[in-house]
Amino acid sequence: MSNDRIARFETLAASEPENPLHAFALAGALLAADELERSEQAFARCLELDPAWMMAAIRRGRCLVALERWDEAREALELGARLATEQNHEEPFAEIRQLMDELPAD
């Protein structure tokens, strides 16, 4: 089932490469399938297309934590926190704190 979702969103992302919604949907399908490298790349693409997409930054951070790419993870999560503050969202901070707690101390 997840391969079908991935294939569907890959087709959409390829047909409209400038549409951040397709990049985000593909990234989510890849994350659900535990394809972390590809998911991180798709979330990064989403942020290239829409730098203010808070959830893309947080989900990219989640991928980077799992990949143990600590500096990049910290950067992505800090971006997510900054965007959440700017956009007046409080809910994401629990997820951001939980992920930041998984990072090794400096």
**List of residues 6+ apart from 29 with CB closer than 8 A:** 2, 5, 6, 8, 9
Instruction: Give the three-class secondary structure for 13.
Output: helix
Query: pTM above 0.75?
Result: yes
> What are the structural domain ranges in the chain?
2-101
Q: Report residue 33 CA to chain centroid gap.
A: 14
CATH class label, 2-101:
mainly alpha
pLDDT tens digits along 54-67: 999 999 999 999 99
pLDDT in tens, the chain (106 residues): 578 999 999 999 999 999 999 999 999 999 999 999 999 999 999 999 999 999 999 999 999 999 999 999 999 999 999 999 999 999 999 999 999 999 998 6
